[in-house]
Structure 1
Amino acid sequence: MPHNPTPSRVDLATVRQCSARSKRTGEPCRQPAMANGKCRFHGGKSTGAPRGNRNAWKHGGYSVEAQGHRQELRQLLREARQALDDMEEMQR
């Protein structure tokens, strides 16, 4: 019994080819392209995890909240350094 019950009816010679090229040989990929011009290997269907995907959450170091805290901390450090510089300038 054949494993492929529905053979492809598309002529692969006329289908648009993937636009990716090999780094090593410089030859183009020979796979048929999807709508974005790349094959399933080079420009896959996946657009990544949805925004706010809790399954992808690891530590929260890059969360909007953590980035905001780091930004505030950097601003406080800048102000503290400036205050110290001003105090040193006054003592001279």
Structure 2
Amino acid sequence: MQSLVLLENRERALPLNREKIDSLAVIGPLADDGYEQLGTWIFDGDHELSVTPLSAIRDLLGDETRVDHVRALKTSRSRTTEGFAAAVEA
């Protein structure tokens, strides 16, 4: 499998199996943003305690698997596609 966008888990891509993955790209501006993970009620939360999807994936796969992160968008509300090429390349 070269690339995957998970809409349904029919091929059992999840849970991730570190023995079958050489590299993985995690795309998106929220993938490694602990502050944004807290959502609307951030005044009461500590972003230092957030576990981002990117950090959880890196912890799961370990050092043997290359995990690349590309923001692709400056923020989750960006409307430009200028970062898409880097995301596709990853």
Give the TM-score normalised by the residue count of structure 1.
0.20
Higher strand share: 2
Larger radius of gyration: 1
With CA pairs under 8 Å and 6+ residues apart, which has the higher RCO, 1 or 2? 2
